[in-house]
Structure 1
Amino acid sequence: MADTVAMNATDFIITSTYQEIAGSKDRPGQYESHAAFTLPGLCRVVSGINVFDPKFNIAAPGADQSVYFPYTEKEKRLTQFQPAIEDLLFSKVDNNEHIGYLADRRKPIIFSMARLDVVKNLSGLVEWFGKNKRLRNLVNLVIVGGFFDPSKSKDREEMAEIKKMHDLIDKYQLKGQFRWIAAQTNRYRNGELYRCIADTRGAFVQPALYEAFGLTVIEAMNCGLPTFATNQGGPAEIIVDGVSGFHIDPLNGDESSKKISDFFEKCKMDPSQWNVISAAGLQRINECYTWKIYANKMVNMGNIYTFWRQVNKEQKEAKQRYIQMFYNLIFKNLVKTVPVPSDEPQQAVTKQPSLKSQSTRRSQSRLQRLFGN
């Protein structure tokens, strides 16, 4: 409700992608979900926001090009990180930072980096890889994310994903083809890691079940890595499928792993295929996803909406009065009627009649507060 009030009160709204606003034919947008909803016991919203209002605008962010730049720019490469990255990728010793090893380092590496949770679907990518023998013969897999020991996590979902990852490693016998690296926080080293993966003629894979924008997709493409990314959310707009990268369906692992296999098989037959996608990805970023483009859009929108605010001053004042009336006279009073949960443990209720009468009294009290005696 706070979002709905704020969106109606504001002059203009900036989003990263169209799908955030109005979604797709299969999925409602993040803001579209505010159009109609119910807060039980409070109110029912039937026309919360118009997602096709011109106040909604798209200005996609970019990646820091001093950190994420093409692997071909040798003079800018952060060579001081390369020995540590060499160890991260290829050391055969398991420790707190990496487990598993890559027996054939001549293979390209497919690589993903994200939080270890269900939505990011890293375990799904591991399963796709494990089930596809053709893909396993063509490439190695490197995953960066999470912990290896469930006891180190405080999140139950992450703990379950850690256990699932270990189960998949054992189930598909991935030793020698799979490397799991713990979450990395040094973005300068991460930028060089993208470029080191590009040196192997590898690719970045973003398999999320849903991704609102996809900053790692921007980072990977900016470093010259061919990128496979989910078709659910922002990456579907960032990548032109088959031109500047590839869309994959996170709900169809067999089809997605086949798409990755087909690409690397083509690259094995004709190495220039890799260069074509790499260059097209860089071009796409430079044309649409840089901070310079973002800044220009923000300045232009600021100028436009400053003018619009003056032209529609009376209409805006009327809307603001309505919003304030709704918030102060209706919503705030309704919120006061919501029972606050007690910190004390609930006692077993033995007398049903008293519970019923208490509920009746609460309902009567609500009506009295709303409409008076």
Structure 2
Amino acid sequence: MPEPTPPSERTSFRRTPAGDLLKAIERLASAGEIEEVIEVVRSTARRLIGSDGIAVILREGDACCYVEEDAVGPLWKGRNFPLSSCISGWAMLHRRTVVIADIRLDERIPQDLYRETFVRSLVMAPVRSDDPIGAIGAYWGQVYEPTSDEVETLETLTRATATAMENVRLVKALSRALEEAEFARDELRHRVKNAYTATEALARLTLPPEHARALSARIAALARAHDLLDRKLAQQDQITLGELLEAELEPYHVDAPGRFIIGGPAVTLPGPQALALGLAINELATNALKYGALSVPTGRLEVSWSRDAQNLVLEWRESDGPMVKGAALESFGSRLLRRLVEGQLGGSLRRHLQDSGVTCVIEFAAPTMIGSDRVDT
């Protein structure tokens, strides 16, 4: 077995260069796997501390697992011990660093295990002091009192290791959540398409041909609108306000051109705003179909938007429809509309009943508008 380096020959290691420690911390911060974190510690800790050996220990339940080492002689890599029977377990259970100048004089040391090794002194520091998930041990081959710099370097390394391991865990948890969300979105997309197809087939089977054709056209328009919004937001996470309104409202005037006026300055909405506003527009259109201007052939709709200070102001104005009862404004759809505008968009909602129809004004903070985007239909 190689002889341990005498303390007199290790004086250059006593004070760790700050640059070397910083590089090790940077490597830990960029690690993407637990195995990579362990390898960074294995390959840097011994040189940084100036010890004859280093061991990386992970906690698994009530066991200490010696997963990696770099030393002048073999330690315990690949072996597991109860927390209560090894010094790494003591450091984790008591949540503090252990410094032992002579292991033969310390009753916490399992002498039979250490007799197989070169170790005579050590420092053992827990990884994550509040709830340890492991430990890093530094070992010397002779009776030796580690310096405060050496102990501080080891503790700094354990803190960086704890942060790196937590980052790896969080990134993996986020990746799993994103994968599950993507799967759920794909499943929902598939179910929505199936629902459109089934509804269209049922219309052809149960309705007279002339009615089936009209309903099928509306269902197809709904499907196109859904597909357009889905593709736009999936590919670029943004959509213009004009595109959003055209997609949401096309199914409602597919067989009645000239009833709609849609226009305003060019605005590009980010995905979250577009989704919330799209749902709000859908609610307004649904309510208009039930109670308002879209429920009769003569009804008309104008949707316009403009800039007001730092906000976007969108006005939904119905006309030439039936008289709308006040109770309609407090329907479930209207309550959902208020939650969308005030909760999701962080804006305000104002609705008015007039003889000519319902007017609704939605106001919320919006991105910068450029150019013109007026469309008349």
Q: TM (normalized to structure 1)?
A: 0.19
Greater strand proportion: 2
Q: Which has the higher contact order (CA 8 A, sep 6+)?
A: 1
